Amino acid sequence: MSKVSEPSRGQPLDVAFIYRIVSSLNLLWDKVNSSIGAYASLWTIDGEKTARAAETKIVTGQIPLSTQTISSNDFFETFSYDFPTQFAFPPVVTATPIASEATDAAKNATVVITSVSTSRMVGFVKFEIKGTVSMAVNIIAVGVPT
Range of the domain at 76: 53-143
d(C-alpha 130, C-alpha 125), whole Å: 14
How many independent structural domains does the chain possess? 1
Residue 43 in any domain: the answer is no
Could you tell me how far CA 31 lies from the centroid of its own chain? 23
Residue 123 in any domain: the answer is yes
* Local confidence pLDDT in tens for the 146 residues of the chain: 456 677 777 777 777 777 888 888 888 777 766 555 677 777 766 777 777 777 788 999 999 987 777 767 678 889 999 999 899 888 889 999 988 887 888 888 889 999 999 999 999 998 888 888 888 999 999 888 88
Name the phi and psi angles at 104, rounded to 5: -60, -40
Q: Left, alpha or beta for 10 (phi > 0: left; psi -120 to 50: alpha)?
A: left
Q: Is the pTM of this model over 0.85?
A: no
CATH number, domain of 120, equals: 2.60.40.2080
